[in-house]
Amino acid sequence: ILFILLAAASVRGPPSHHCTLELSPAISINQKNFQFQKMSSEDNKKHVADEAKSCTSTSKKKRWFPLESNPTILNGYISKLGFNTDLYEFVDVYATEEWATSMVPKPVLAVLFLYPISPVQEQHRHKESSNNTALSHELSSKRKVWYTKQRIGNACGTIGVLHALANIDSNALIKPESWISTFLNHATYDTDPLVKAEILESDDVIETLHDDATQNNDNATGRGEIDDELLTHFIAFTNVDGMLYELDGRKDGPICHGETKQEQLLEDSCRVIKLFMERDPEELRFTILALAPK
């Protein structure tokens, strides 16, 4: 089920918010906020829109306004959820190369990645599914990976945030009796991903907090209309017991990308992120955020 994040279409640069990000000889990103543009190919647009509709449709047809990939917005949001932002906060990552990742304080607890849903990305997703790359619920539960499926249209910002926060191995960062503390007590890592999604879907508090974030004055773009088709998607990367996991509620389960260490999580995540970018070298709409110490 697709949850699409409305975001700055490329990573914001400091402090003028206008900087070029060089990711590889074939990839560069202009770092400034803009509304997502229509795909140049009408055929491609129809193909991906059909995918989006199939992924976002649920029995209840529930949709939220999309979040923006904006550290200020997300930090305020996770603080209201109950995460201690006095110690850690989301920050922009300006490139996948060492010069950029070395600027980010360590250890990074999680990485959020926004990318455009395009035919080539969809082909890869279907190939992963046919190859049974994703962990089953039984296996991911044994490895204590917290993962949920997505049932609410345009909510992948919240799903990405939950995947990031729920897999952090530190109770000190979650405020007792907060929304996220209560939620994670009910939706534990071994709860079926679809059951987690149903719990989330019926929760009025998180829906209100999400909606408030989409209306925040710090948003760089308007939130548009509730039925707008936004062909971008937000996923998370986390470290669980020394393994790097890609968490995407549209997929069959967590994707394991091999060993990692907390100090190396950002660099290892960027290694995988480069593969997304290399599959779509003409695309500019990518953002990377790291949950890093202050």
- Enumerate residues 6+ apart whose C-beta is below 8 A from 90: 71, 74, 75, 78, 112, 289, 290, 291, 292
- What is the spatial distance between Cα 158 and Cα 193, in angstroms, rounded to a whole number? 15
Helix axes 119-130, 265-279, angle to 10 degrees: 120
- Enumerate residues 6+ apart whose C-beta is below 8 A from 229: 49, 52, 53
3-state secondary structure of 124: helix
Output the six-digit token pair for 29: 């990103």
Helix axes 71-81, 156-166, angle to 10 degrees: 60
Encode burial over 188-207: b for 16+ CB neighbours within 10 A, e otherwise: ebebebeebbbebbebeebb
Backbone angles phi, psi at 66, to 5 degrees: -75, 145
User: From the DSSP assignment, how many helices (H) and strands (E) are in the chain?
Assistant: 10, 8
Residues involved in catalysis: 156, 233
- What is the spatial distance between Cα 10 and Cα 65, in angstroms, rounded to a whole number? 20
Residue 244 class from Cβ within 10 Å (0-12 exposed, 13-18 middle, 19+ buried)? buried
- What is the spatial distance between Cα 146 and Cα 188, in angstroms, rounded to a whole number? 7
